[in-house]
Amino acid sequence: MSPPTTLKHRDSLSWGSFLIERFQQTTTKHDDLCHAVTNEYCQKQCNGCNKIADLLRWGEAKRRKSPTFEGCSEPHTMHNSYRELTHCAKASGCETCRVIRRAFLLEQITGQDVARLEHIDDQWPIQVVLSLHAHGDSLLFTCRPLHNAPFTATIALDRTPRQYDHNLTRGGARLLTSFDELRQLIEDCHQHHECSSRYRWSRRNPTWLLEIGDSNLVRLVRGPRHLVQYVVLSYSWGDPAEMPSAEWARIKGAGTKTKNGVPVDERLNPFFASELPETMQDAIQIAKLLGFKYMWIDNVCIPKGTNWDTEAGLMHEVYGNAAFTLVASSSTKATDHMLQQRKAWSYRSKAVKLRGQWLHNTEMSLDKVRTESPVARRAWTLQEERLSPRVLYWTGQRWHWSCAERQVAELSQLGHRLCAAEKEGRRSPQLFLELCHTGDGEQLHEEWLDIVQAYTPRDLVEPRDRFLAIAGLAVRFYSSKAEGGGSFITEEYLAGLWRDNFARHLSWSVATAADSTHNLQHIAPSWSWASLPLRVETRTKHAFRPSKHFKFISVVHELVDPAIAAVSLTRIGGDEGINRARAAEERGRGVKIVEVEGRFRRFVLNEAINADWDSLEWNRGGRTGFNFSSFPGQHLFSRNRSSGRIISKDAHSGEIVGQLDYLTPSDRQDAISLTPFVPYGSEKEIMCLELGELAMLLLVRSSDYEDGHAEVYRRVGVATGYSSRKGFFYGCETKRVRLG
């Protein structure tokens, strides 16, 4: 849709303003969607909400014909823009529009999202669909801006009014956060839950803390000898490519400078918190209002010149010993405010009824807050969350609290203790700590794979921090295995994977082949997910049964500090065990070549022909498959050049579909200089190593390593779940293979 020619002489008027003005000029009181009257429930109801009533009539008719009917209506336009909806809620007093407006706002995690929703130049009609389902009926609202992802909102429908845990009308609007309830919640956790006794790592404080004083003053102090109650901030620095250079310089400049290895006097003496970026300022204010005297912020409390590798290995202590971790989910960058007016609570909450149905705002799940906030795009914040016994997520409209025993959303119905069934069905941020505490080895490995899957799509300012950003998680994992009471352990950290379940960890795959030009194989070996480029989506979860033929033999080559290599990793005990766990993590970063044993064969037979992918793949009704009828009795292979999927099929057997890690560059010169991919025409050079009963590693011979006469292979992909070809490795030799 483009602006009409009549807009050319209206330079001072934006396109969004023009649309609203034109609408107001052409509508009459009869078709004005904002015109409201009192309905049968003594509530204000506008013409736009009459459209919703029409949908409810449609639903009633469907249910009269078939009580078990499930489906969705056609979309109806109930308001011409979000700004019109807001105007109706305010000026017309339409109760239903107020509930819908709140639903849109509660779906926005950051303040920037709210600003985008309200932007006058990006206003488009709000459409509503009635969804009828056995598990519950709902109204689904959508507003689709021209250049951005659509805004959505959901209203649940019920025949009975819902009982709220909070009287949302008491005290009027909740535009500013009330800290009384939150303070009581945190205190209750500290006094009555087992979070501290179960998950606190030690009684040590971080090396440096911010001491919060009066009159907006703070100062950097050494962590006291006795453990103090401090708050940790987890936040996103922001993307330097998306902000002015001066703004990024201000964020970086918040770091503490040192002189002769000691923080400068400007930080050791009291200074105004307002000198720090806005997210840090507000986090300090929140901690103070909740009664805490100390705070830890990475950029401020790790002085420049500090051994970064050492500090990264201590993150399990920094976060594990904190009173709680404050996650700035509302901030897209460090210069965004956390404390702001929360527009979702502009109006008193009332029970709203429409054609016999009560309308209820649905709750945003904690999982959505965790995975869709800007913090979730930063690699460092993953371990910050999963190493924290208590987490407070601060979004633009409300806060969410999570500890091992309770999850609460402000002004909601979620304020109840979790029963066992709820814990099983809901993924807790503290699950990693719980498994480390119980020592459930099998589940702990599965949780590590979940960590990998959540970690690889995230971004790092410095790619060299690939291992450092999860070092605390690795130390915690190793310690949980090493503190079982035995004198000797076999577990070993291997470039982001673990020895005790090495075949399972090797079977990760990419969602689609990555750009090989940005690989990190200078940081990690090809068989490690850490060698992938940043921001690559991976798949680590699939049914896996280990092969009895696969064995891990040894680490062949590693690049590691001799002082670390000298530490024995077999005998564990006391504080010495903590040091060994850190040494195990540091040593694991440098592993480059390992030797394994398993059944080994070619992936594609020499006599196979190359078939066109499009001639084999079919797609019907969302289902995909392959048709080999044009190639009877022939060995063949095929490759999808856009996704990296690859097929190998022997003449009279089922097919195997694999996933290559990297695309082949279109520039042939790149194809000569870069190594992680399989050039076109080289598919028959791919070898495969059996990992599990239905899992194999795809490999090619490597010339990157000089290792005498031993063959070293690099990983190029993986294949899993090939149930139509279970006997692929039958009769094949078992071979020792070195992976680099």
Does the pLDDT of residue 54 top 60, yes or no? Answer: yes
pLDDT in tens, 330-351: 999 999 999 988 899 888 777 7
**In this structure, are residues 124 and 75 in contact, taking their beta carbons and an 8 Å threshold?**
no
pLDDT in tens, 221-260: 999 999 999 999 999 999 998 999 999 999 999 999 999 8
pLDDT at 729: 96
Amino acid at 118: E
Does the pLDDT of residue 371 top 70, yes or no? Answer: yes
Please give the span between the terminal C-alpha atoms of the chain, in angstroms, as a whole number. Answer: 54
pLDDT at 200: 84
Does the pLDDT of residue 173 top 50, yes or no? Answer: no
**In this structure, are residues 688 and 603 in contact, taking their beta carbons and an 8 Å threshold?**
yes
Among 147-161, 281-295, 553-567, the range of highest mean pLDDT = 281-295
State the pLDDT confidence band at 707, using cuts at 50, 70 and 90: low
pLDDT at 203: 86
pLDDT at 270: 97
pLDDT at 314: 84
Counting beta carbons within 10 angstroms of the beta carbon of residue 285, is it exposed (0 to 12), middle (13 to 18) or buried (19 or more)?
middle
Does the pLDDT of residue 566 top 60, yes or no? Answer: no
Q: What is d(CA 579, CA 712) in angstroms, rounded to the nearest whole number?
A: 33
Sign of the CA dihedral 194, 440, 506, 663? negative
Of 445, 740, 733, 442, residue with least CA distance to 597: 733
Give me the helices (H) in 163-256, please: 179-192, 195-199, 245-252
Average the pLDDT over 283-287 and give the result: 97
Taking 3-state DSSP, the helix, strand and coil percentages for the chain, each rounded to the nearest 5, stand at 35, 25, 45
**Measured in whole angstroms, how far is the alpha carbon of residue 701 from the centre of its chain?**
35
State the pLDDT confidence band at 194, using cuts at 50, 70 and 90: confident
pLDDT at 732: 95
Secondary structure (DSSP) of 612-656: -HHHHEEEETTEEEE--TTSTT--EEEE-TTT-EEEEE-TTS-EE
Least confident of 11-15, 92-96, 457-461: 11-15
Average pLDDT in the chain: 87
pLDDT at 493: 97
| Strands 262-263 and 138-143, bridge-based pairing | unpaired
Does the pLDDT of residue 433 top 60, yes or no? Answer: yes
State the pLDDT confidence band at 424, using cuts at 50, 70 and 90: very low
Of 82, 42, 9, residue with least CA distance to 343: 82
Centre a 10 Å sphere on the Cβ of residue 601 and count the other Cβ atoms it contains. Answer: 17
- Tell me what percent of the residues of the chain surpass a pLDDT of 90: 67
Q: What is d(CA 487, CA 489) in angstroms, rounded to the nearest whole number?
A: 7
pLDDT in tens, 471-485: 999 999 999 888 765
pLDDT at 145: 79
Q: What is d(CA 318, CA 609) in angstroms, rounded to the nearest whole number?
A: 58
Least confident of 288-297, 331-340, 404-413: 404-413
Secondary structure class of 209 (helix, strand, coil): strand
Least confident of 280-284, 395-399, 416-420, 521-525: 416-420
Does the pLDDT of residue 4 top 50, yes or no? Answer: no
| Strands 71-72 and 36-38, bridge-based pairing | unpaired
Q: What is d(CA 336, CA 112) in angstroms, rounded to the nearest whole number?
A: 9
Average the pLDDT over 644-648 and give the result: 96
pLDDT at 706: 53
Average the pLDDT over 424-433 and give the result: 76
Counting beta carbons within 10 angstroms of the beta carbon of residue 342, is it exposed (0 to 12), middle (13 to 18) or buried (19 or more)?
buried
State the pLDDT confidence band at 581, using cuts at 50, 70 and 90: confident
The radius of gyration of the chain's CA atoms, rounded to the nearest angstrom, is 29
Of 650, 723, 728, 717, residue with least CA distance to 685: 717
Does the pLDDT of residue 603 top 90, yes or no? Answer: yes
Q: What is d(CA 503, CA 273) in angstroms, rounded to the nearest whole number?
A: 50
681 backbone φψ class: left, alpha, beta (φ>0; ψ -120 to 50) = left
Sign of the CA dihedral 476, 524, 681, 605? negative
pLDDT in tens, 649-680: 999 899 999 999 999 987 654 444 457 899 99
Secondary structure (DSSP) of 114-182: HHHHH-TTS---EEEEEEE-TT--EEEEEE--SSSPPEEEEEEEESSPPPPSS-TTTTS---S--HHHH
Does the pLDDT of residue 27 top 50, yes or no? Answer: no
pLDDT in tens, 461-472: 899 999 999 999
Does the pLDDT of residue 561 top 70, yes or no? Answer: no
Average the pLDDT over 33-50 and give the result: 92
pLDDT at 665: 86
pLDDT at 668: 54
Least confident of 27-36, 151-160, 434-443: 27-36
Average the pLDDT over 600-624 and give the result: 91
Average the pLDDT over 139-151 and give the result: 87
* C-alpha to C-alpha distances, 661 to 327, 559, 646, 728, nearest whole angstrom: 33, 25, 11, 22
Tell me the two tokens of residue 609. 């022909």
Does the pLDDT of residue 420 top 80, yes or no? Answer: no
| Strands 687-692 and 655-660, bridge-based pairing | unpaired
